[in-house]
Amino acid sequence: LIIERFDQFASRLANIFVYARDCTRGSLADYIPELAKQDPESFGLATCSIDGQQAMLGDARTAFCQQSVIKPMIYALAMGLNGENQVHRHVGREPSGRRFNELALDPDNRPHNPMINSGAIMCSAMIRPHWSVADRTSLLARFVSSAAGGEPVDIDEAVYASERATATRNQSLVKLMDEHDAFPEGSDPRTALDVYFRACSLTLDCRRLAVVAATLANGGVCPTTGHRVIDSRIVRNTLSLMLTCGMYDYSGEYAFSVGLPAKSGVSGGLMIVVPGVAGFALWSPRLDRQGNPVRGIEVSRQLVEHFPFHIFAGV
């Protein structure tokens, strides 16, 4: 067993959950109107170890739209389909130091990395560009589903419609990239945005998101099904970028103080990967100034306080 005495581990995790629940700072994202309807009190936490032991707390079985938490999976799928070189011809791997939807490209006129909007839209453009949006979305949904343990993944159509109706900034990002000829030959910038919006609207609960994180922690093999879902090389690349770019313009601070690959999203989701040990997933819609779930930061800090999970803790 990777975590001995899992019941003890789960009860210490429950203490962390109770501690973080008291934290009511932060506010809901409202630039996508549908997200402002989330219950600010919602709080779910789940974990899955690389040998498939699971624990769940609070609203861990309530599905929520993934938003940016899905970006690592968009990137991993794009890389599986196109190869590392082709993907990185069109998207960098350097933290931007700017907000996730900032109108900015790197010195080579590429998005800085796949964990911000421009980079995720670019990766969406590289998912089977000649297929219909519906087929591309279901390819991604099936990929996410296999990483999450197999049950089908739904789309929140209300969130999709809401985001599509308030898309000016993301459309501007597409125009900026298009103006600089950043998109690969044969891709269609307009449908890329639609695939991206549908990806952001995919729903999972914490229980299943923790299995996705555990699949990444396990080198790409889903711990609950034993199926290889992602190439280990792709997992390595994905985790590297989650470590350096996964928490918006708090990524450097998070890498320093928590020291784990993670990805947050504006709906309040967060997945945290402890390589070779376990995955964690959290959902709490109140966000801090950088756009990260306040309770998510609290739980992350507590996790590395109580367990030797920081990747440099043992050196």
One residue of 96, 170, 237, 292 binding ligand GLN per CB under 6 A = 170
Q: Is 277 annotated as a binding residue?
A: no
Q: What is the rounded distance in angstroms from the CA atom of residue 115 to the CA atom of residue 58?
A: 28
The CB-of-142 to ligand GLN minimum distance in angstroms stands at: 21
**Per-residue CA distances from 89 to 79, 93, 110 (Å):** 11, 10, 8
DSSP-assigned letter for residue 276: T
**Per-residue CA distances from 247 to 115, 141, 250, 269 (Å):** 9, 23, 5, 11
The CB-of-299 to ligand GLN minimum distance in angstroms stands at: 18
One residue of 72, 111, 220, 265 binding ligand GLN per CB under 6 A = 265
One residue of 9, 17, 43, 100 binding ligand GLN per CB under 6 A = 100
One residue of 60, 216, 241, 266 binding ligand GLN per CB under 6 A = 266
Nearer to ligand GLN, 67 or 145 (CB): 67
Query: Per-residue contact track with ligand GLN, 146 to 165, x per CB under 6 A?
Result: -----------------x--
Please check whether residue 218 is in contact with residue 195, taking contact to mean a CB–CB distance below 8 angstroms: no
Please check whether residue 27 is in contact with residue 12, taking contact to mean a CB–CB distance below 8 angstroms: no
Q: Is 250 annotated as a binding residue?
A: no
245 lies in the binding site for ligand GLN (CB under 6 A): no
The CB-of-227 to ligand GLN minimum distance in angstroms stands at: 28
Please check whether residue 257 is in contact with residue 265, taking contact to mean a CB–CB distance below 8 angstroms: no
Please check whether residue 29 is in contact with residue 248, taking contact to mean a CB–CB distance below 8 angstroms: no
Q: Which one, of 266, 267, 278, lies nearest residue 303 by Cα? A: 278
One residue of 49, 53, 67, 302 binding ligand GLN per CB under 6 A = 67
38 lies in the binding site for ligand GLN (CB under 6 A): no
Nearer to ligand GLN, 129 or 265 (CB): 265
The CB-of-263 to ligand GLN minimum distance in angstroms stands at: 9
Nearer to ligand GLN, 200 or 217 (CB): 200
Q: Which one, of 131, 144, 115, lies nearest residue 250 by Cα? A: 115
Please check whether residue 262 is in contact with residue 251, taking contact to mean a CB–CB distance below 8 angstroms: no
Buried b (16+ CB within 10 A) or exposed e, 72-84: bbbbbbbbbbbee
Q: Tokens 């993670």 label which residue?
A: 262
Nearer to ligand GLN, 30 or 108 (CB): 30
Pairing of strands 202-204, 44-49: unpaired
- Assigned token pair, 164: 């599509």
- Name the closest residue to ligand GLN (Cβ): 68
Per rule CB under 6 A, count of chain residues that contact ligand GLN: 11
68 lies in the binding site for ligand GLN (CB under 6 A): yes
**Interface positions with ligand GLN (CB under 6 A):** 67-68, 100-101, 117, 163, 170, 200, 265-266, 291
Binding residues for substrate: 68, 117, 163, 170, 196, 248, 266
